[in-house]
């Protein structure tokens, strides 16, 4: 038996200090930028990643209305929602959703890439999406995130 024993140290919820990052998505493709954002929200970019702990960072997304899709997805991609009542299913295209709520396109894409459990919902709360290049989180001293 080897005399050296190495133990993997798992992070605890109390030990995590999240960093803040700003991501400008103007002119970037939705799916590619959403996968990077989900990666940061989960904490997989850090060496102390622990799957069962929310060890990710907070992400501020600016210029959400200037994000782009490839092909004809603005007219062909549909978003469905269901109220739970008979006949309560509603759909809208990506262009309609962008006109009504510009940040919802990014939010839906990122939410689909996070775990579907209470840990994923907790991670999603650390995503802040804004239209325009202004955000109210200057006190957190966010850093620019480079892909």
CB 30 within 8 A of CB 97: no
| Predicted TM-score of the model (pTM) | 0.90
Q: Cα–Cα distance between 137 and 121 in angstroms, integer?
A: 21
Residue 34 lies in a domain: yes
Residue 86 lies in a domain: no
Residue 78 lies in a domain: no
pLDDT winner (highest mean) among 11-25, 114-128, 133-147: 114-128
CATH number of the domain that 105 lies in?
3.90.1180.10
- Structural domain containing residue 107: 18-67+96-144
Residue 61 lies in a domain: yes
The structural domain count of the chain equals 1
Q: Identify the pLDDT of residue 9.
A: 79
Residue 41 lies in a domain: yes
Residue 102 lies in a domain: yes
Does the pLDDT of residue 147 top 90, yes or no?
no
């Amino acid at each position: 038996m080897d005399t050296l024993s190495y133990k993997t140290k798992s992070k605890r919820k109390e030990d995590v200090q999240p960093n803040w990052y700003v991501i400008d998505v103007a002119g970037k493709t939705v799916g590619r930028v959403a996968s990077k954002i989900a990666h940061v929200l989960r904490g997989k970019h850090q060496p102390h990643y622990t799957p069962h702990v929310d060890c990710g960072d907070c992400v501020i997304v600016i210029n959400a209305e200037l994000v782009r899709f490839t092909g004809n997805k603005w007219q062909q991609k549909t978003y469905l929602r269901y109220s739970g009542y008979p006949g309560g299913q509603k759909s809208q295209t990506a262009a309609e959703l962008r006109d009504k709520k510009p940040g919802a396109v990014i939010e839906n894409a990122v939410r689909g890439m996070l775990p579907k459990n209470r840990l994923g919902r907790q991670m999603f709360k650390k995503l802040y999406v804004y239209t325009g290049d202004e955000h109210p989180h200057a006190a957190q001293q966010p850093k620019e995130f480079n892909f």
